[in-house]
Amino acid sequence: MGERPLVWIPRPVHDDGLALLRDHADVRLGYGDAATTFDDIAGQVAGILLRTARVDGAMMRRAPALTIIARHGVGLDTVDLDTAEQRGIVVTTTPTANTQSVAEHTIALLLAVRRGIGVAVRNEGDTRAAIQGRELSGSTLGLIGFGRIASRVAHIARQGFGMRVLAYDPLLPDAGIAAAGAEPAPLDRVLAQSDAVSLHVPLTERTRHLIGLAELLSMPKGGVVINTSRGGTVDEDALLSALRQGHLAGAGLDVTVLEPLPADHPLRTEPSVIITPHVGAQTAEAMRRMATDAAGKIIEHLA
């Protein structure tokens, strides 16, 4: 046992990831009855499987044997990347583990908004007569960003619902977009021709407020916006304005600038807006894949 590398897991992860790691390493948990703190094992720890905790530069400097931090998920904001790089510590993520889950959540929001499910579930007054949904079949979906999640969404939308799919992603070759089953198009054409626009870009200086009032008003009247990417890619004030003007028919948001979204936020009182609290990746399957993918990266690296 003493020969096996020591791996620390500060917060609970799926049992299958734990079991996989335990076959190859001496695993210490930062939770539960026999919780091990970082300071307990800083001198020997070789790897960290990191879900929600933070690893800062001071921790890395106290851990001479540490060579890998495997993130459970994709965000890297909880790791001091500069110090990791200086110390030659490999930092990995699990970029494909939640792709299908987020794609399915995107479709769930799209269906819910187009069918007025939010209003129907609240069922206030004469809801039945007031609701007239729209089918997805034959309508056009515009994807902004065409990476892993968007290409899964495109596949489901085309194969499952017979939608036409347009995609704007200036960082990808048109041929690649076409090969994955969407029509490549510039942003203005995607907006002008899409009944539903769905965002799948990272939040960067270039994508912050990528969709503002002018963009929303350039969509066909009655269009809907879905965002499962990051809050801030859509200007929320502009979104409210386009909804209140009656230009947009609704929106489905899994991400907002403020998370959790305050109870008195104006987006919450818009009847045609469906908000979920950043749960796009919260499935049993994604949780399991994130844990086993991260464990696999540690095992591969330490071998």
Q: Catalytic residues, which ones?
A: 230, 259, 278
At 117 the three-state DSSP class reads helix
- Told to check if 71 binds ligand NAD by CB under 6 A, we report no
Which DSSP state fits 211? B
Q: Which residue is it, tokens 């290409």?
A: 151
Q: Which of these segments, 76-84, 109-117, 167-175, 241-249, binds ligand NAD (CB under 6 A)?
A: 167-175
273 binds ligand NAD per the rule CB under 6 A? no
Nearer to ligand NAD (CB atom), residue 28 or residue 289: 289
Nearest in space to 295 (alpha carbons), one of 29, 59, 48, 66: 48
Question: Three-state SS for 61?
Answer: helix
User: Judged by CB under 6 A, does residue 215 bind ligand NAD?
Assistant: no
Interaction between residue 230 and ligand NAD (CB under 6 A):
yes
Q: What residues contact residue 113 under an 8 Å CB cut-off, 6+ apart?
A: 196, 224, 226, 249, 250, 251, 252, 272, 274
- Interface with ligand NAD (CB under 6 A), residue from 28, 72, 114, 278: 278
Among 43, 170, 173, 277, binds ligand NAD (CB under 6 A): 170
Task: Catalogue the E-assigned strands of the chain.
Answer: 6-9, 26-29, 45-50, 68-71, 90-92, 140-144, 164-168, 183-184, 196-199, 223-227, 248-253, 273-275
CB of 198 to ligand NAD, least distance (A): 10
**List 36, 67, 98, 198, residue binding ligand NAD (CB under 6 A):** 98
- Which residues would be at the binding site for ligand NAD (CB under 6 A)? 74, 95, 98-99, 102, 144-150, 168-172, 200-202, 206-207, 228-230, 254-255, 278, 280-281
